[in-house]
Amino acid sequence: MTKDEFYKLLESRTSIRKYKSDEIPKETLQRILNAAMQAPSGKNRQNWHFFVVQGEKRQQYLKLSQKSWLGIKDVLQKKLKPSLYEFTERFFFTLGDAPVIIFCFSENSPEERHYTSIGSVYMAVENLNLACLVEGLGCCTMGAPLEIQEDVRTFLGVDSQNKDLELLCAVTVGVPDHQPPKAPRQTEGRITWLK
Ligand SMILES: Cc1cc2nc3c(=O)[nH]c(=O)nc-3n(C[C@H](O)[C@H](O)[C@H](O)COP(=O)(O)O)c2cc1C
């Protein structure tokens, strides 16, 4: 891959919220997860944990996703145009028919700063986003499951007493069934150069 191709690839990434029903082969998912785990991490703790949800289990999760919508809908109604609000509501109800949902957790430790631990997992989540791109897949990172953390933990069978294992996000994955426009980027004033 050339330098130009790499930067173009980064620019081409958009969150995908509508998927074809195609199943994703396990080998592909394994490659994506391996790419995630190439990320750097504080003290090289590699403190990520992924729960890959598919099939009937994914179907069951949709009921919980609908519940998370109730926690977020009032804020979004004030913020979004009606058409985008409706699209977002549908996404919460169906998760865009994504065949795969990957829940991402951070294993925290008193020996590491909290932000360093969770930041390390988000580095892995970005790798995961980019690996989806090169596989011709789409994905959407979602903080929405945090609205229903306890339900998600029970759903995944994560011990509720294990407070060191923290849910950070879910990532829907599948073959894209739409091509959303690039969300504008604001780069003005975001960089301070010092010499
Ligand atoms: C940590 C994080 C949480 C997010 N949570 C949600 C979410 O709950 N639902 C959703 O539809 N998109 C979610 N997104 C996607 C953002 O809305 C999206 O990245 C942003 O609008 C920029 O669009 P782009 O990804 O297409 O460039 C999240 C993204 C990140 C990084």
pTM of the predicted protein model? 0.95
Whole-number Å distance, alpha carbon 16 to ligand 1 midpoint, is 9
Supply the range of the domain harboring residue 41: 14-174
* 6 located within any domain: no
* 83 located within any domain: yes
* 85 located within any domain: yes
* 149 located within any domain: yes
Our answer on whether the CB atom of 183 is closer than 6 Å to any ligand 1 atom is: yes
SS3 (DSSP) at 94: helix
The total of structural domains in the chain comes to 1
* 58 located within any domain: yes
* 9 located within any domain: no
Closest by Cα among 183, 95, 91, 175 to 138: 175
* 185 located within any domain: no
Our answer on whether the CB atom of 15 is closer than 6 Å to any ligand 1 atom is: yes
Alpha-carbon gap, residue 81 to 135, rounded angstroms: 32
Mean pLDDT (the chain) is: 95
Q: What is the pLDDT of residue 72?
A: 84
Q: Which amino acid is at 194?
A: L
Our answer on whether the CB atom of 14 is closer than 6 Å to any ligand 1 atom is: yes
The structure tokens 């780069």 sit at 187
Our answer on whether the CB atom of 140 is closer than 6 Å to any ligand 1 atom is: yes
Left (φ > 0), alpha (ψ -120 to 50) or beta: where does 97 sit? Answer: left
Which distant-in-sequence residues (6+ apart) come within 8 Å of 8 by Cβ? none
Whole-number Å distance, alpha carbon 84 to ligand 1 midpoint, is 14
Cβ(141)–Cβ(129) below 8 Å: yes
* pLDDT tens, position by position, 57-88: 999 999 998 888 888 899 999 999 999 899 88
Around 89, how many Cα atoms within 13 Å sit in the side-chain half-sphere?
13
CATH number for the domain including 141? 3.40.109.10
* pLDDT tens, position by position, 134-164: 999 999 999 989 989 999 999 999 988 888 9
* 188 located within any domain: no
Kindly report the protein residue whose alpha carbon is nearest to atom 6 of ligand 1: 142
